[in-house]
Amino acid sequence: MATDSYLPEGAGRCRLVRHSFPLLEIVTLLPMAGTYLYNAWRFSFPAGYGGLYALMAEILARQPFPLPAQIPFYGPGGIPFAYPPLALYLAALFVGPLHVPMLGYLRWAPGVVCILTMAAVYLLGRQWTGDRLKAVVAVVIVFSAEIVYSYHGTASGSVRSVALLWTVLAAYFSLRAYIQDRLWPVHAGLAGLCLALTALTHLTYAAFLVPGIVLMAFLAPGPRRALWRLRTMVIIGLTGLLLAAPWWGTVMARYGPAVFINAAGTHGTGGLLADVGANPLGLLRAFLRWYANLGRTWWPGALSGLAILGFAYGLARRRWLIPAWVTVTVAGLGQTDRFEILLCGLMAGEALVDLARFVSGVAGRAALWGRNAVAGLAFLALALGPLGALGFRGIQWTEVELTAALVDTGRWIEGNTPPDSQYLYLGSSHDVGEWLPYLTHRTPGISPWGAEWTGKYDRERDRLGQLSACVSAKQVSCVEAFAGSAGLDVGLLIVPVEENSPWVSLEQDASWQLAFDNRSWRVYARTGSDGAR
């Protein structure tokens, strides 16, 4: 039975679109779904890093309510449990009552949620463009980006992918609400609910979403009755604020506003405004530089051109919402690549399909899909097949730093060293450094992971840079001097075995003795200390 929905088209007009069997969506999106599960099937351990999330989820599995006061080890030495807990509760449900191994959950859950997010991006794209083909093309563009996989399809995606799902759904329902159809109160309520769920999962995604909802009130297609749109915006915002209040109220009562202020000042928050200040000319120059370099570091490389095309096409078509949302995001947030590709991908999907229809001389939506489905599928295969294949290649290049040998090393340290032992990790892998506090249940001497909640993030980043110089030089005297200047009481050194670049100075130093060696990792304990039992 066919169903109907109102979809925006042009400046404030709506068109009735009839749904038919989703062959186009199935044929295109099934391979995309498979790519996001490939590494979970291929490797025995999760890609990326997620030790802090895993530790918090295990703590919640043991004590779900009330929220624990502190997370041990990270920070270093412990951090307040101020992190939005929704995705962590989801993980705790699986590893607690359902007895799913934590590392198994971190392998599979991010990819599964990413597949659900593909469907949500399709709905958002269709709502934005009123066109099934454009929505499908947008999904292929967005999820072919390696940056999207690295943020959401790896272990840390156990939180980020859930946040992205709520973010996209909130944007979708907000657009539906602003159209002002007879179900707008329902859509506004659902948008507010998804806004709350976003805030309860990851604050960065909420900070990205809120300006988008505000901009929709002024720039989204559909009826433009200002007071009515403002009322809709207020309903969405208040619903989200109130539904998330039990969490943020608890955190504010425990720790005060400082914990949020500390977190907000890290990870590049402030975007271009933090770099150039409020100087309008400087901000314009910085934005032009950003636009000229948009997507330069993304894989596949063609995404850079598609993102620039999509942004420019939105301006040319006077569809201001997405260009404005991108601009506000880049100006105010840090680490925005994951959001830039999402928004520019939506516009690039529209631009590509319109360009193909123009070049082929086809007029109207129905020609590429409906009466001529073969032409639509051929277009997808020729234009997007290489992009999807290169995106899959980028996923294949993923290296998994978490190994059985590293897990074995962590278990040995946990079982054979005093609980108050402090260690330094003398390696260069970011992922390993993040996993180790969770695997060892010991406090690192340096931990930028979690330090954003304590106000020590910049200090820990600086210390990590200083230690990295010692690691590059392979000089234990440099490590000792660094630990002394930082006031660290280090009893353990965790060292990766590198046959071509051994730590000769450490092996010859009488102050340290080899306590553990599994051919991949070595643990040295300070001589005469109680570093290893």
DSSP 120-187: HHHHHHHHHHS-HHHHHHHHHHHHT-HHHHHHHTSTTHHHHHHHHHHHHHHHHHHHHHHTT-TTHHHH
Reply yes or no on whether the pLDDT at 181 is more than 90: no
Q: Percentage helix, strand, coil, to 5, in the chain?
A: 65, 5, 30
Of 66-75, 159-168, 356-365, 492-501, the one with minimum mean pLDDT is 356-365
pLDDT at position 359 is 66
14 pLDDT tier (thresholds 50, 70, 90): very low
154 pLDDT tier (thresholds 50, 70, 90): very high
DSSP states along 26-95? HHHHHHHHHHHHHHHHH-SS-SS--HHHHHHHHHHHH--SSPPSEE-SHHHH-EES-S--HHHHHHHHHH
pLDDT at position 364 is 47
Please tell me which residue, 57 or 373, carries the higher pLDDT value: 57
pLDDT at position 12 is 36
Measured over all CA atoms, what is the biggest interatomic distance in the chain, rounded to whole angstroms? Answer: 82
- Average of pLDDT values for 177-194? 90
Reply yes or no on whether the pLDDT at 267 is more than 80: no
pLDDT at position 70 is 94
Residues 30 and 469: their CA atoms lie apart, in Å, by 46
DSSP 482: H
pLDDT at position 2 is 34
pLDDT at position 1 is 32
Reply yes or no on whether the pLDDT at 19 is more than 60: no
Reply yes or no on whether the pLDDT at 3 is more than 50: no
- Average of pLDDT values for 492-496? 96
Q: Helix or strand or coil: residue 494?
A: strand
Reply yes or no on whether the pLDDT at 277 is more than 70: no
pLDDT at position 358 is 73
Please tell me which residue, 501 or 152, carries the higher pLDDT value: 152
498 pLDDT tier (thresholds 50, 70, 90): confident
Q: Helix or strand or coil: residue 524?
A: strand
pLDDT at position 365 is 47
Reply yes or no on whether the pLDDT at 266 is more than 80: no
pLDDT at position 367 is 47
222 pLDDT tier (thresholds 50, 70, 90): confident
pLDDT at position 334 is 77
124 pLDDT tier (thresholds 50, 70, 90): very high
Instruction: Please give the model's pTM, rounded to 2 decimal places.
Output: 0.91
What DSSP element (H or E) covers 338?
helix 337-359
Question: Which of 446, 443, 484 lies closest to 465 in space, CA to CA?
Answer: 446
Q: Over pLDDT 90: what percentage of the chain?
A: 67
Measure Cα distances from 260 to 193, 257, 416, 446, 451 in Å: 22, 6, 37, 22, 12
pLDDT at position 533 is 60
Strands 79-80 and 443-444: unpaired
Q: Report residue 496 as tokens.
A: 């990766």
Residue 173 is which amino acid? F
- Crossing angle, helix 86-95 and helix 157-178, to 10 degrees? 130
Q: Go through the domains of the chain in sequence order and give each one's CATH number.
A: 20-266+373-396 (no CATH), 404-526 (3.40.50)
Residue 217 is which amino acid? A
- Average of pLDDT values for 285-304? 83
268 pLDDT tier (thresholds 50, 70, 90): low
Q: Helix or strand or coil: residue 474?
A: coil
From the number of C-beta atoms within 10 Å of its C-beta (0-12, 13-18, 19+), residue 352 rates as: buried
Of 19-33, 49-63, 84-98, 169-183, the one with minimum mean pLDDT is 19-33
- The answer to whether 344 and 150 have CB atoms below 8 angstroms apart is no
Q: What is the pLDDT of residues 81-90, one digit of tens each?
A: 999 999 999 9
Reply yes or no on whether the pLDDT at 8 is more than 50: no
Q: Report residue 457 as tokens.
A: 């993030």
Reply yes or no on whether the pLDDT at 73 is more than 50: yes
Strands (E), 317-460: 422-425, 443-444
- The answer to whether 342 and 121 have CB atoms below 8 angstroms apart is yes
Question: Which of 124, 134, 122, 94 lies closest to 355 in space, CA to CA?
Answer: 134
- The answer to whether 20 and 232 have CB atoms below 8 angstroms apart is no
- Average of pLDDT values for 279-290? 75
Residues 176 and 152: their CA atoms lie apart, in Å, by 26
pLDDT at position 371 is 46
